[in-house]
């Protein structure tokens, strides 16, 4: 088949906020213990942080990491992870039926984040706790005052505030799995009052209110409206969460996942703007897609885990080639909506539904999804340009009228490079792409990388770490987007 992909100078979507390449580390499974932290490991530093893991995180250039949850945060007392480590409580962790030793908390994580060259996006507990604890943790982390919580931080060895700028008002508070689930009205009031107090302590912070846990929630829409009507003036972002998967093994249908993500984003934007109109406000609420990924492979094996273990292997999805293509495509959807999506977190980063896997006491390896994330994060910085595309569509199961080809371009800030991210979702049918860059003079294609292969189910492992890696395509002649592929095309301005 043929596809026309046109970019032009008047197709500017937005300057991309680098925080769209953020990720997430929760106290869940082996993300922290046996993941980023493993004292005694041969690569561990003076604080017990694994440097083989940190090196791979740096390779992904992750600007910000959400912490400490997720579901975990809704039962978490942040003070448990501060101060003298020998006195920290060992607790029943109710979100994941595990034992939390509290060896790592914000005291250690903020140091780890500095070493990993990332900022922190911190979530507060609005499940079992409320506004009082939320304002206290902001004081502990950010305040320079001579007051109780700021002094507690100093006593714990940190004179300088941690300077955490972005905070989540709870996590997935609409979900009945959440510790301390709320009805929309309850959460709306709590989020509003908590936001006010947190900003009184530190007016420079930005806040994310919880949207629905996904578009499948019965209260989706109504929840967002209720929360925004109450808290509009006190929050800056609304969260979106969504996970995709292929549980019924229909790969063609699965290839349509990004279209579903795109619709979800547009529906939430419409709700935000409806409330803006109602309030006659000048302020635009931006979106924080703070949990997105593929998640389904590990569901069955997780049910077999014994409860009350320390760092059990939970949510350890083993990703394959088709997952990598979908993840690359989901990133295209985020970039296409970068005028409103200012923050997005690949959930998660290490061991738990993650691009980076470790063997406790052993090595580290890259999952298939590592690669589209890396190429987009490294090359997708600058200004997003929309594509005008002419191509076929397909319908398969719940994926209806899906364009076979999708793409977005990013022009670098110095205008020397244009990166095109493109997908061919039609399995087994190559697309001959006619690519044009109208108004962008003197650019030449210098690199074409793709994630493609004969076996969509092939994945990597500690023993075969390079089974699925990006393929270098030859340049010259027409651009072929292989049937079932994610592609990165680099154009350089010629001197
Ligand atoms: O990322 C895994 C879990 O997914 C998070 O803890 C929760 O917020 C979501 O349901």
**pLDDT at 477 > cutoff 90:** no
Count of C-beta atoms within a 10 Å radius of residue 284 = 12
Number of domains comprising the chain: 2
Instruction: Determine if the pTM surpasses 0.95.
Output: yes
CB-based contacts of 218: which residues, under 8 Å, 6+ apart? none
Examine the domain organization and report whether 315 and 270 are in the same domain: yes
Average pLDDT of 44-54? 98
**pLDDT at 282 > cutoff 90:** yes
What is the C-alpha separation between 208 and 231, in angstroms, rounded? 10
Which of 26, 93, 291, 417 is catalytic? The answer is 291
CB-based contacts of 303: which residues, under 8 Å, 6+ apart? none
Examine the domain organization and report whether 425 and 437 are in the same domain: yes
Burial track 429-447 (b if 16+ CB lie within 10 A, e otherwise): eebebebebeebeebebee
Examine the domain organization and report whether 354 and 391 are in the same domain: no
Examine the domain organization and report whether 390 and 376 are in the same domain: no
Q: CATH no. for residue 37?
A: 3.20.20.80
Backbone angles phi, psi at 123, to 5 degrees: -105, 145
The strand ranges marked E within 104-249 are 119-124, 166-169, 206-209, 237-244
> Which residues form the pocket of ligand 1, taking CB atoms under 6 Å from any ligand atom?
26, 69-71, 171-172, 291, 347-348
Strand order of the sheet with strand 431-438?
Answer: 471-472, 443-451, 485-493, 417-424, 405-411, 383-390, 2-15, 431-438, 479-481
pLDDT at position 40, please? 96
361, 381, 401 - which closes a domain = 381
Average pLDDT of 301-329? 97
- Are 324 and 371 in contact by the 8 Å Cβ rule? The answer is yes
Q: Which two tokens stand for residue 198?
A: 């947190």
Examine the domain organization and report whether 417 and 304 are in the same domain: no
Examine the domain organization and report whether 404 and 377 are in the same domain: no
381, 408, 437 - which closes a domain = 381
pLDDT tens digits, 90-109: 999 999 999 999 999 999 99
- The minimum-distance atom of ligand 1 relative to the CA of 172 is 8
Examine the domain organization and report whether 163 and 38 are in the same domain: yes
- The minimum-distance atom of ligand 1 relative to the CA of 24 is 1
Residue to mutate (ligand 1; options 29, 172, 243; most atoms within 8 A of CB): 172
Mean pLDDT of the chain: 97
DSSP state of 439: T
What is the C-alpha separation between 324 and 371, in angstroms, rounded? 8
Q: CATH no. for residue 457?
A: 2.60.40.1180
329, 348, 381 - which closes a domain = 381
What is the C-alpha separation between 357 and 328, in angstroms, rounded? 19
Examine the domain organization and report whether 340 and 419 are in the same domain: no
What is the C-alpha separation between 486 and 331, in angstroms, rounded? 11
What is the C-alpha separation between 373 and 60, in angstroms, rounded? 7
DSSP assignments along 93-114, one per residue: ETTTTEEE--SS-HHHHHHHHH
Average pLDDT of 105-128? 98
Is 300 noted as a catalytic residue in this protein?
no
pLDDT tens digits, 420-474: 999 999 999 999 999 999 999 999 999 999 999 999 999 999 999 999 999 999 9
Examine the domain organization and report whether 374 and 471 are in the same domain: no
Examine the domain organization and report whether 211 and 248 are in the same domain: yes
pLDDT at position 251, please? 98
Average pLDDT of 314-340? 98
pLDDT tens digits, 160-180: 999 999 999 999 999 999 999
Ligand 1 mean position, distance from CA 418 (Å): 35
Closest residue to atom 8 of ligand 1, CA basis: 70
What is the C-alpha separation between 318 and 386, in angstroms, rounded? 33
Determine the structural domain holding residue 488 and report its residue range. 2-9+385-493
DSSP assignments along 39-88, one per residue: TTSTTB-TTSBBHHHHHHHHHHT--EEEES-SGGGGG--GGGGSS-GGGP
């Amino acid at each position: 088949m043929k596809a026309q992909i046109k970019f032009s100078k008047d197709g500017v979507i937005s300057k991309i906020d680098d925080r769209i390449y953020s990720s997430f580390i929760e106290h869940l499974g082996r993300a922290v213990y046996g993941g980023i932290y493993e004292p005694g490991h041969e690569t561990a530093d003076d604080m017990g942080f694994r440097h083989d893991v940190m090196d791979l995180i740096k390779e992904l250039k992750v600007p910000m990491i959400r912490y400490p949850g997720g579901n975990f945060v809704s039962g978490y007392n942040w003070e448990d992870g501060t101060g003298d480590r020998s006195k920290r409580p060992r607790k029943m962790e109710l979100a994941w039926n595990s034992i939390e030793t509290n060896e790592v908390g914000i005291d250690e994580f903020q140091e780890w984040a500095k070493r990993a060259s990332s900022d922190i996006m911190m979530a507060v507990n609005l499940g079992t706790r409320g506004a009082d604890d939320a304002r206290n943790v902001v004081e502990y982390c950010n305040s320079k005052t001579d007051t109780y919580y700021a002094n507690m931080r100093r006593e714990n060895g940190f004179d300088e505030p941690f300077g955490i700028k972005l905070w989540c008002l709870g996590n997935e508070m609409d979900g009945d799995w959440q510790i301390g689930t709320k009805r929309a009205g309850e959460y709306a009031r709590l989020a509003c009052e908590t936001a006010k107090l947190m900003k009184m302590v530190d007016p420079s912070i930005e806040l994310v209110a919880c949207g629905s846990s996904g578009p499948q929630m019965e209260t989706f829409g109504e929840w967002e409206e209720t929360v925004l009507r109450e808290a509009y003036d006190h929050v800056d972002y609304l969260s979106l969460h969504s996970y995709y998967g292929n549980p019924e093994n229909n790969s063609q249908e699965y290839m349509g996942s990004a279209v579903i993500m795109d619709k979800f984003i547009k529906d939430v934007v419409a709700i935000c703007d409806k409330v803006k109109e109602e309030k006659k406000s000048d302020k635009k609420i931006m979106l924080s897609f703070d949990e997105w990924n593929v998640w389904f492979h590990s569901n069955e094996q997780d049910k077999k885990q014994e409860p009350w273990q320390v760092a059990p292997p939970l949510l350890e999805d083993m990703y394959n080639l088709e997952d990598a293509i979908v993840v690359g495509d989901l990133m295209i959807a985020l970039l296409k909506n970068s005028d409103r999506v200012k923050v997005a977190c690949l959930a998660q980063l290490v061991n738990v539904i993650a691009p980076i896997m470790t063997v406790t006491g052993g090595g580290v390896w890259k999952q298939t999804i590592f690669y589209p994330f890396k190429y987009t994060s490294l090359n997708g910085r600058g200004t997003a340009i929309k594509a005008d595309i002419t191509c076929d569509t397909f319908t398969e199961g719940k994926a209806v009228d899906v364009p076979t080809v999708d793409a977005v371009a990013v022009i670098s800030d110095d205008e020397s490079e244009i990166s095109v991210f493109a997908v061919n979702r039609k399995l087994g049918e190559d697309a001959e792409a006619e690519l044009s860059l109208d108004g962008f003079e003197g650019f030449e294609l210098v690199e074409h990388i793709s994630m493609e292969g004969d076996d969509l189910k092939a994945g990597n492992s500690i023993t075969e770490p390079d089974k699925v890696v990006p393929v270098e395509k030859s340049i010259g002649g027409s651009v072929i987007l292989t049937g079932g592929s994610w592609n990165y095309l680099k154009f350089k301005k010629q001197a």
